[in-house]
Structure 1
Amino acid sequence: MKITMIGSGYVGLVSGACFADFGHDVVCVDLDEAKIEALRGGKVPIFEPGLADLIERNARAGRISFTTELAPAVARAEVVFIAVGTPSRRGDGHADLSFVEAAAADIARAMDGFTVVVTKSTVPVGTGDEVERIIATTRPDGEFAVVSNPEFLREGAAIEDFKRPDRIVIGSEDTRALGVMREAYRPLSLNKSPILEMNRRSAELTKYAGNAFLATKITFINEIADLCEKTGADVQQVARGMGLDKRIGSKFLNAGPGYGGSCFPKDTLALLKTAQDFEAPQTIVEAVVQTNEKRKRAMGRKVIQAIGGDVRGKVVAVLGLTFKPNTDDMRDSPAIAIVQTLQDAGAVVHAYDPEGMPNASQMFEDVVYFDDPYAAMKDAEGLAIVTEWDEFRALNLTKVQSLLKGLVLVDLRNIYDRGELEMLGIKYVAVGR
């Protein structure tokens, strides 16, 4: 099957590479010439485990290619996926659909014969209707169907999520389009991945509702963690006791500094704006958004308090800058607010992250970066673990003790044992424990 992916960012690259690995003929389009040249040269502009190898293998086999020329790529395709960005719009928090709308108009002008146009980007309810209107207006004689096919890819595990998904959501009531989409995903039938076919608006809302619910679980357990600290309970034990209830489940019940990333912050905001437009208030999600934003700064204050309440002129080491491990994504990372809070209090921040430092350097001023975690913590008054990268899970604690000037470790991901650290004379501060 001939597939064209409009947008060669995170979703477009992962989806395109996986479709190519299924045996489909995939062309990825992007207006960024530097990005396309890099991809043609085998350089992947994002960090995602396994993605570079997947692209290299399928490019060598001739199943995936990259171009800046949209028209010929669309004209050849049976299915065109729109996988462009939908960031929060400045000023009001609505999803910015300008890239989606521009792609729809470009597709309309270029398509040749019956074409299934698929919104893979995360878009508010009703966007498919607007895409359909744009295409029909631009190309009144065009044969096409617009389908919603939201992505459910976790950064750091995206290839596994695409190839072994919990479900595939397809929003369309067009029989011909549904047949084409089933063929596109047919290779997943071996894994018995369920395909859920529904109307387009339901598919669009499924994505937002899912992300809002997960964000709610994270925020809920973080507030329970605060209560645990006040009452002497242990949030990890509470979370395990909750998670073993099959109605609740254990995932997304790890207390920490709050959620971030490319999806949850913008998608919860977009859901709230959609709810306002339709006069159906989402007060729970509204509280989640507000609570999560406050928490990030509160975690910075937690670090300051652990060090003694005054960090002016003192070095504080921060391990982990990305919003989660196994990605270089800094978007809405809790580390941003934590580092800013430390700097606002006068601290000198020394930082290390396995993949995030190039992106972080574009966001922070006066942060000192190091090539390994131990160099970052040398002579620091305290150490804060902000992101749970694997290499932080088994630090040489004796070496940590010898390097820190102030023996304080603030573990915002609860990955260490209090007793082991206190035996070394290190003050240990965790979340909800």
Structure 2
Amino acid sequence: MRSFAILLLTLAMLPAQAKVSPEQADRLGQDLTPLGGERAGNAAGTIPAWDGGLDKPIAGYQPGMHHPDPYAADAVQYVVNRDNLDQYQKLLTPGLQRLLERQPSYHLRVMPSRRSAAAPQRIYAATRFNAENAELISGGNGVQGVAAGVPFPLPQSGQEAIWNHVLRYRGEQIHLVTNQAAVLANGSYNLLKLDRDIYFVYGREGMTPQGLDNTLFYYKYRVVAPAKVAGSALVVQETLDQVLAIRKAWRFNRGERRVRRLPMLAFDTPQPDTNGMATADQVDTYNGAPDRYEWTMLGKQEMLVPYNSYAVHQKGIPYADILQRKHVNPELLRYELHRVWVVEAQLRTGFSHPYAQRRFYLDEDSWQILAVDLYDKRGELVGLQESHPISYYDAPMFGSTLETIYDFAGDRYFADGLDNNEPMYNFQATLSPRDFTPQALRREGN
């Protein structure tokens, strides 16, 4: 307890991160995109200029549809596999290289680069405000002076970049039904179907820094299938500064017929029903307080990353066609060349986590984490995490439709977000904070 108090005192004494000048902020919407990416393409012409992204529904789209692929006519430019890995090595994360080396049936279908990421105009305006007002507090474990937009569109540190991911725009509320699966080395798995609701506070229209009250979002899920665990449910109240106030979580256990407060649902706490392959802070690729790691910005790099993954998002695809033995079906995935921010996280002395080091690759146009290299305490590369995103152009927002975690030692992987045979996300769901209480959780479980 004493050491925790000393940590809090130390964090409080650290200076806040400096804000950027008005002159720097004026670059947003000029040579930089409104969220801080480079507007221009690359010198080789293999990455195009950003022209606004997909900021409105495409022709033929109707509300409730699985999003049609706006780039379905694109041809594969080239394929990367184990045989030609050396030729493209500098464009691949170490984790992706390892996956290709280990699995000869895995390959990358590389398509033309399409900078489709977009957000509402009010998010762009809020980001411009945040650029001059955002500050890291509590030693980087909280943010103040911000609301709605990306907090640090011109990042000066690794912590600022990771906060951009945590606070990126994901809509105001979402109802979704998705499946997850832990695919074992022999290819066997069981689907777990979850009915989920998310109510975002930070990104809501009209939100101000004063109105946040240290709340980031509310989250709830109810297990729909299989029958033996159906009815179990979870609710989370997520805080913005988790050093000031940790997230609150309650779980309804169908067998016990009661709601229990969870003492900890963060950091290295194992996610339920993932066969030990996923920790709590790997949901949404990374979430929660950054205080267990030292964060280092390594700069920006051109990489082959998952992008515009509409093929694996389409309605009616049998989940067995997606979840192949050893890896997701590569013929349903799309990789593109994009510029990404590279951020390294090193576990601080005195803390524990299965991943003593992680290297994050963040999309310059959306701040979505696209890939993570996972290292253990011996410095061994033990896993790869990927987000396969699309532009939900009806929102508009850019985010993952499928997330994967590969465990190299176990020759197995975890997949979350399978929605092909479920109703599509509803960004207009009628939700309120009252739906995310222990009492609401009890109703969900009954």
Which category of TM-score, normalised to the shorter sequence, fits these structures?
Answer: under 0.3
* Greater Rg by CA: 1
Q: Which has the higher contact order (CA 8 A, sep 6+)?
A: 2
**Structure (1 or 2) with the greater helix fraction:** 1
**Structure (1 or 2) with the greater strand fraction:** 2
TM-score computed with the length of structure 1 as normaliser: 0.28
TM-score computed with the length of structure 2 as normaliser: 0.27
